[in-house]
Structure 1
Amino acid sequence: MVKSQTFYWIVIILVLMNTVVLASEYYLQPEWLTETQEYANRIFVVLFSFEMLLKMYSLGITGYFVSNFNRFDCFVVIASIVEFVLIFKDLMPPLGISVLRCVRLLRVFKVTRYWTALRNLVASLLNSMKSIASLLLLLFLFIVIFALLGMQMFGGKFDEIFTVEEKPRNNFDSFWGALITVFQILTGEDWNEVLYTGIRALGGLGLAGTVVCVYFIVLFICGNYILLNVFLA
């Protein structure tokens, strides 16, 4: 039964309906909508719990937990039940409840179990995690190196051309500030303004200004056009 087309489409429809309910929530919504969403969530908890129990009965406990997806599904269902109990008993502060409600979003991933193309895409992404981790480490080391270089070149220099109130937050006065500034440059967000500020801080377009240009251009080209594109590829 759990492998039939009817069961397949029932689960897909439930997932889509759950997604619609989640997407209907907004700030300062009327009380009746909040109550409707809560009732709908309780119904979904019951239905998805019934789906899990039906699979356990059909496949057996051992057969059910062989699949990694079923383990994930079981986690989502149990977390949803815990959320329901904690909300019903009023045992958690609002912030904790908000965090638990994020579990509802995981139900959307149930569609990957039945959508072959999407499941293959997710599997490919998971298989690439080791390569992605290596590239992220390389990118982080690149950012650290250029942040340290920036601190040596521009540390405290922005104070000479700005007052304390005017000094931009994207500066190289501290390691964390330099990391954020280098990351901003890599994303291409207003990086030319940081370049112009660096040139002014070192006395304008002279030998020092040329070195500043080389620093920012190498950082932008190597980081934005090489490392980030390799990561995306």
Structure 2
Amino acid sequence: MTFKTRIKDIRESKWFSNLTTGIILFYAAALGFKTIDKVAEPYGLLFYSIDMFITVYFLVEIIIKIYAEKSIKDFFKSGWNIFDFVIVFITLIPLENSSFAAIARLMRIFRVLRLLNARPELKKIIDMLIGAIPAIVDIVILMFIIFYIYAIVGNFFFEELKSGLWKDFLTAMLTLFRVLTFEDWTDVMYEAMELYSWAWIYFVSFVIIAAFVFFNLFVAVIIDEMQKINSEHTDEQLNREEEKIDLLLEKMTQMQEEIRELKKKS
């Protein structure tokens, strides 16, 4: 086994992924603890050492990932690899003792985002959400149309209410968002019913359409995208298995030819 093969095995191993995940979670906990000034103040040197260790580890990890590829170009073909590289590169820039020290401290927080790439399961979820964006945008546009219609109707009928929740179009949109989140939406409905007894139809129909129907649409889109990703993942695994079988068949064919040659010689 060559050195590059060993490095590749390390990169693809489960323990390496778990180690990176554990270090990122530990670092996230340390950052949270550091915000408590009175408690964290005596441990300034310890936090500095932790920060240096994390920096070195991430640098070694990114070198391992780059070296395991056939070429550097192959490494940068993946958007996740570019994401990791940018975060590591930015945190290596010496900004602590400059006027950009606040930016340097902010950049440390983004190290926690590397958890998205450290766990394949999280990568799958993020890829799923990115893939679902076009469908989600269409649903949001349709939802905006419903909001727009209901806001105009609400402003027309309930503009005179004392609460002022329907005094103009934008305020009516915010009120509808409040109703959508079920934040004391019954109070808004009962106030409107004091003016119009039929107002419950307006609110109940909006809740059914906006909250129940559209929520289920979002869920359906995400589930559909997850099924697509799972099927693609299954296809990739099948292709890998087929490649392994093809390699085994080639080796068996070569061995048969070698055996035949040996028989001829004997």
TM class, shorter-length = 0.7 to 0.9
Instruction: Kindly report structure 1 stretches of 4+ aligned residues shifted beyond 4 Å.
Output: 96-99
Please give the alpha-carbon distance, in whole angstroms, between the structure 2 residues aligned to 1:78 and 1:56.
14
Letter of the 2:25 partner, please give it: T
Which residue type is aligned with residue 56 of structure 1?
Answer: I
CA drift of 1:48 comes to 1.0
> Which string of whole-angstrom CA distances, capped at 9 and with x for unpartnered residues, describes residues 5-32 of structure 1?
4773234313312212312414534213
Asked if the contact 1:15/1:110 (under 8 Å) is kept, the reply is: no
- Indicate yes or no: 2:92 matched with 1:81: yes
CA root-mean-square deviation = 2.5
- State the partner residue of 1:13: 19
Q: Where in structure 2 are the equivalents of 1:106-185 lying within 5 Å?
A: 106-112=113-119, 115=120, 117-155=121-159, 157-159=160-162, 167=163, 171-185=165-179
TM-score (norm 1): 0.77
Closer/same/farther in 2, CA of residues 195 and 93 from structure 1, 3 Å limit: farther
| Distance apart, 1:44 and its partner CA | 1.2
Deviation of 1:184 (Å) = 1.3
Which of 68, 90, 93 matches 2:98? Answer: 90
Map 1:19-38 → 2, pairs under 5 A: 19-24=25-30, 25-26=32-33, 27-29=35-37, 30=39, 31-33=41-43, 35-38=45-48
> Which AA in structure 1 matches 2:207?
F
Residue 218 (structure 1) shift: 0.8
Q: 2:180 and 2:23 mapped to 1: Cα distance?
A: 40
Could you list the runs of 5+ residues in structure 2 that have no partner in the other structure? 1-5, 221-266
- Distance in 1 (CA, whole Å) between partners of 2:54 and 2:67 is 20
Whole-angstrom CA distance in 2 between matches of 1:32 and 1:104 = 24
* Alpha-carbon shift at residue 98 of structure 1 (Å): 5.8
| Residues 80-138 of structure 1, C-alpha deviations (whole Å, 9 max, x = no match) | 234xx22x1232374x45643431221211223xx3x4443433332222111211222
Paired with 2:104 and 2:150, the residues of 1 have a C-alpha distance of: 41
**After superposition, what is the alpha-carbon deviation per residue over 1:132-165, rounded to whole angstroms, capped at 9, x for unaligned?**
121122222222222222222222x223xxxxxx
List gaps (5 residues or longer) in structure 1. 160-166, 203-207
CA distance 1:93–1:57, change in 2 (3 Å):
closer
Cα deviation for residue 33 of structure 1 reads: 4.4
Confirm whether residue 54 of structure 1 aligns to residue 59 of structure 2: no
Percent identity over the alignment?
A: 23
Over 3 Å counting, the alpha-carbon distance change for 1:119 and 1:7 in structure 2 is: closer
> Match for residue 214 of structure 1?
201
Structure with more of its chain in helix, by fraction: 2
Q: Give the total of aligned pairs.
A: 209
Alignment match, 1:196: 190
- What is the TM-score normalised by the length of structure 2? 0.68
